[in-house]
Amino acid sequence: MFDLTKNVTLEPTLQKRYTVLRALLHFVFLIAMFFILYRILFPIVPLNFSMNTPNSNKNTLVSPRLNQTGGFPVEKSISSNETLIFNANPIGQFSKANIAFTLEKNSNDIENTSVKISKSYQAFFFPIGKPADFKDGTLLTTPTGEYYIVSDGLLRKFSSTNIILDLGYPKSAFVEVSQDDLKLNKTGDEIANAENYPNDTLFVIDDNFYRLKNQQLFPFVSARAFLTQFDMTSTVVKEKDFLSRYPVSETYLGFADGTLVSSAESVFILSEEKSYPIENDVTFLAMGFDWNDVIAVTSNEIGMYKKQKQFTRNSSHPNGTIFFDQETNNHFIIKDEKKRPMNSSVLVKTYAKQKPIIASAAQAAKESTCTLKKKMLSSNTYQCDVPLEDLALLIGNDYQISATFSKNAKVNTIDTTFSTPMTFHSLRNSLSTIKNKLKNR
């Protein structure tokens, strides 16, 4: 061993003390090293939420809410037979979670309350909304030769094929649908003349793309942005002098909601004119995204979006995100915290320009449970351990936890600790996770 003191002679008592202290230092170092290694291979993740400071950045559990109103409990109060729901998003595979509620003094006893936990994506837990419809600008046709455009959310029929030809719509751009598909949108007025174009007609002029809205042409920021929403064939081709017919807006149109893009060294998810920088590669993969879907964009393209705070594992997927239930083959699109079914394969094709996120409603319905007991040496804390072995490998990064109290209660804090036992199975999973992280980086 390298020893800077080999030429220094100590008295026998000091030499003995020095040897003992050096051995003790090595022992402490080894213990610390093994402790750090243990925490890496068998992680323990504590998460909490203070109901007294719901807007604090220190809260690491997500969105405590009541199932009946969807809102935060007023004055921290949960009524009897009302369900308190919250979410937790630890990164890793865990076999157990300890869930604890600390109540205000003199609050009712909540012992024997059942706590349920399930796993999926936070947005995939959203309630089912009304079925999705065809988006504005979509061109549709039926086997019987009827032609339509979706304009201002309404299905508008062209009264004759001649009008389509006179206006310059390419017949090949009309997507064939069934009569049932047509019912997804409400019906609007027929288009009976070739003098004016309906709203949401798409144009290409000198390789620039435009959308007509309220007698104005709104330019797309780039061809890349246009192609995340529509096919090239869906445009009416015009010469440059057409720009004198309609004024061109100074407002640019961007990418489809839910699009993943990269700029400089950051990756963003875009939605409703906002850009959300994704926290890191671990979050990117945990949220079910695919690196092959990321589109490299210019500073001008990303500059039209208002930058938001980081998209973390505690965030829910934004509007425009599409999920695919791998067991039922159903698609859903996220809109305003609702999961809207896409009840037509043709409808899906008109939206999905990148791969949907794989999910499973059947897996999301699986639950593990435990029963609250009063914590020892505490008068107002109730806790239980819920096993996660049956949930750990399910699709998704989000644990949704719920508890229905039989009596009125006022909750001060919620604490949830996810842990992994020291077993060979856990060791193998941890090593596999580390290997995948290194590959992704």
For residue 322, the cross-strand partners are 333
List the single range of 30-34, 100-104, 164-168, 260-264 with lowest mean pLDDT: 30-34
Whether the pLDDT of residue 38 is over 60: the answer is no
Average pLDDT over residues 235-257: 94
Q: Give the type of residue at 374.
A: K
- Find the radius of gyration of the CA atoms of the chain: 29
Please say whether the beta carbons of 376 and 351 come within 8 A: no
Residue 18: what pLDDT?
77
Q: How far apart are CA 193 and CA 206, in angstroms?
A: 26
Angle at which helices 12-41 and 424-440 pack, to 10 degrees?
80
Average pLDDT over residues 153-172: 94
Q: How far apart are CA 70 and CA 337, in angstroms?
A: 11
State how far the alpha carbon of 314 is from the alpha carbons of 89, 122, 399, in Å.
Answer: 6, 8, 11
Whether the pLDDT of residue 4 is over 70: the answer is no
Whether the pLDDT of residue 420 is over 90: the answer is no
Sign of CA pseudo-dihedral 327, 278, 131, 82? positive
**Paired tokens of 281:** 């590669």
Please say whether the beta carbons of 99 and 386 come within 8 A: yes
pTM listed for this prediction? 0.85
281-297 residue pLDDT tens: 989 999 999 999 999 99
Residue 265: what pLDDT?
87
Q: What is the mean pLDDT of the chain?
A: 90
Phi (first) and psi of residue 19, to 5 degrees: -65, -45
Q: How far apart are CA 83 and CA 52, in angstroms?
A: 19
Whether the pLDDT of residue 376 is over 70: the answer is yes
**Paired tokens of 416:** 């949830």
For residue 154, the cross-strand partners are 151, 186
96-115 residue pLDDT tens: 999 999 999 888 989 999 99
Average pLDDT over residues 222-226: 96
**The dihedral formed by the CA atoms of 129, 133, 137 and 142, expressed in degrees to the nearest 10:** 170
Q: What's the per-residue H, E or C state across the chain?
A: CCCCCCCCCCCHHHHHHHHHHHHHHHHHHHHHHHHHHHHHHCCEEEEEEECCCCCCCCCCCEEEEECCCCCCCHHHEECCCCEEEEEECCCCCCCEEEEEEEECCCCCCCCCCEEEEEEECCHHHCCECCCCCCCCCCEEECCCCCEEEEECCEEEEECCHHHHHHHCCCHHHCEECCHHHHCCCEECCCECCCCCCCCCCEEEECCEEEEEECCEEEEECCHHHHHCCCCHHHCEEECHHHHHCCCECCCCECCCCCEEEEECCEEEEEECCEEEEECCHHHHHHCCCCHHHCEECCHHHHHCCEECCCECCCCCCCCCCEEEECCCCEEEEEECCEEEEECCHHHHHHHCCCCCEEECHHHHCCCEEEECEECCCCCCEEEEEEECCCCCCCCCCEEEEEEECCCCEEEEEEEEEEECCCCHHHHHHHHHHHHHHHHHC
Ramachandran sector of residue 281 (left: φ over 0; alpha: ψ -120 to 50; beta: rest): alpha
301-350 residue pLDDT tens: 999 999 999 999 999 999 999 999 999 999 999 999 999 999 999 999 99
Average pLDDT over residues 36-52: 79
**Paired tokens of 206:** 């000198």
Cβ neighbours of residue 423 under 8 Å, at least 6 residues apart? none
